[in-house]
Amino acid sequence: MSATEDSLSSSTIGSGNLERLLVGAADLSKAGLDDFIELASPSSDEDPPPMTGPTPEGTALLNRAFNDKPAREVRTSFANTDSSIVVDEGVSERAAGAAATWMADMRQVYVQCAAWTISIGDQEIPVEVVKPADDSCRPLQVEQRFGDEALMRTMLAGPVGQQAQITTLLVRDGDRVLELTFRSLTAEPGSPEATRLGSAMSKFLELAPAKFLALPVTG
């Protein structure tokens, strides 16, 4: 057994079940998320499609970062009653040092690639990263709240007028990473849809990192 494998094996043996770090159906009501239900299977549990960045280097970085495979991973998903908001959660564990390396790659994705395209069949879907200063989710402030390091960004995917909004928070705690992703259609600021999304995000952002990091839920 290599030193890396031995390190991972020791970490895994002492880690307990990753499942206990995920939000469960019983947690939803306590957090004021009664309009959400846990889905029977994760909504996004497949390999991501090929991506093309603004440069060859950006393309390589995108596909390396988004196709990174952890040693262990558990996932779950939730949706509200009309499925207008879907929340995907994953907790993963990597070999010693690999989680920090992956987080560094993800940071570079957002530095080098303000936009890219996703190829699904004969479709080319545009993806645009919202600048943190223009994001009502205030990602830079959220990042300061959690773990050894955190990274949060919002992306808009699809043609203008039909864009989906995808906001992802990554939180690293040692060799483990929490991935929390919110998916919805874009909504006008101040609209009922935007208010509902903001409320759900606020509650999940209190609940999921707290459970992952074994912190008290303050919301």
Sheet holding 115-120, edge to edge: 36-38, 72-80, 86-93, 176-185, 164-173, 149-157, 123-129, 115-120, 51-52
Amino acid 161: pLDDT: 83
Q: What is the pLDDT along the chain (219 residues), one digit of tens a residue?
A: 344 444 444 344 334 489 999 999 999 999 999 999 999 878 666 788 999 999 999 999 999 999 999 999 999 999 999 999 999 999 999 999 999 999 999 999 999 999 999 999 999 999 999 999 999 999 999 999 999 999 999 999 999 888 999 999 999 999 999 999 999 999 888 999 999 999 999 999 999 999 999 887 665
Cα 198 from Cα 194, distance rounded (Å): 6
Measure the N-to-C terminal CA separation of the chain; round to a whole number of Å: 45
CATH class of 3-213: alpha beta
Please state the pTM of the whole predicted model.
0.89
pLDDT score of 6? 44
Check residue 40 and give its pLDDT. Answer: 82
Residue spans of the domains in the chain: they are 3-213
Burial label for 46, CB within 10 Å (0-12, 13-18, 19+), is exposed
In this structure, are strands 86-93 and 72-80 parallel, antiparallel, or unpaired?
antiparallel
Tell me how far CA of residue 105 lies from CA of 44, 99, 129, in angstroms.
21, 10, 16
What stretch of H or E contains 28? helix 25-30
Question: How many Å apart are CA 29 and CA 17, to the nearest integer?
Answer: 23
- Position 218 scores a pLDDT of 62
